[in-house]
Amino acid sequence: MTKPISLLEIAHNIVGSYVAPGDISLDATLGNGHDTVFLARSIGIGGHVIGFDIQPQALVNSFQRLLQHDLQRRVTLRLASHADMLLHVPKQWHGRVRAVMFNLGYLPGADKAVITQIDSTLAALNAACVLLAPRAVITVLAYPGHAGGELETEQLAAWSQRLDQTCYTTEVILSSHDKPAAPRLFVIRKQADLL
Ligand code: SAH
């Protein structure tokens, strides 16, 4: 049987259809650096990625992964909450960010007590909307199955419904295991400027 495509792969396919060489993009939750490596490849030598995490281990893991692929020069890693991303993204890039990727929950292989929190997640999403270019995308991989994850996913859904529908569209993609606790991918697309 062929392996079903994962939500992570779907997120990469969608983000890949937005990001072009020279673009700026953000990894809001570095974790083990898979999304950062993907973004760094997509933006080419002329682009840049800024990645955030609050755990030093995530920065170490991500940096090692970038080194393996010789992509470290295209990426800035910040030991900071994604809620503060407006302070870390240079002013000249505000309104120019093509993609922001979130992968919620805990860092695989580390302390499972350190998880994303709804207040900072929503603050980061609001900041991401300020930073986005016209025709841009935010992806959020959410895990309702772990403690706190269900509420976070519900609030995320409510947040996305409050977005200005003339400017943003939201799609929720469920994983192939159709259980209430299964992970889901939120895709928030910002429209191109209307002429
Ligand atoms: N994208 C990763 C998995 C992310 S795990 C991968 O592909 O491997 C979620 C990460 O979010 C953890 O590393 C955790 O430390 C981080 N995190 C939790 N709260 C955060 C915050 N406020 N700002 C930035 N990162 C945060």
Dump the DSSP string for 14-78.
Answer: HHHTT--TT-EEEES--TTSHHHHHHHHHHTTT-EEEEEES-HHHHHHHHHHHHHTT-GGGEEEE
**Using 50, 70 and 90 to split pLDDT, how confident is the model at 147?**
confident
Contact call for residues 88 and 78 (beta carbons, < 8 A): yes
Domain-located, residue 114: yes
12 compared with 176, residue with greater pLDDT: 12
The residue-averaged pLDDT of 80-101 equals 98
Regarding the beta carbon of 53 and ligand 1, being less than 6 Å apart is answered yes
The least confident of 64-73, 119-128, 138-147 is: 138-147
Domain-located, residue 195: no
**Using 50, 70 and 90 to split pLDDT, how confident is the model at 175?**
confident
Q: Which domain holds residue 149?
A: 7-190
% of residues, the chain, pLDDT over 70: 96
Can you tell me which atom of ligand 1 is nearest the CA of 117? Answer: 19
Question: What is the reported pLDDT for 2?
Answer: 61
Domain-located, residue 2: no
Question: What is the reported pLDDT for 110?
Answer: 82
> Structurally, how many domains does the chain consist of?
1
Separation of CA 62 and ligand 1 centre (Å)? 11
Domain-located, residue 145: yes
Domain-located, residue 120: yes
Domain-located, residue 91: yes
Domain-located, residue 11: yes
Best residue for ligand 1 mutational test, from 10, 30, 87 (most atoms within 8 Å of Cβ): 30
115 compared with 53, residue with greater pLDDT: 53
195 compared with 185, residue with greater pLDDT: 185
Domain-located, residue 1: no
Phi and psi dihedrals of 139, rounded to 5? Answer: -115, 140
Strand order in the sheet with 48-53: 75-79, 48-53, 24-27, 97-103, 132-142, 184-190, 168-174
Can you tell me which atom of ligand 1 is nearest the CA of 32? Answer: 8
Domain at 182, CATH number: 3.40.50.150
Question: What is the reported pLDDT for 180?
Answer: 77
Question: What is the reported pLDDT for 1?
Answer: 53
Separation of CA 8 and ligand 1 centre (Å)? 14
Can you tell me which atom of ligand 1 is nearest the CA of 115? Answer: 18
Question: pTM (2 decimals)?
Answer: 0.95
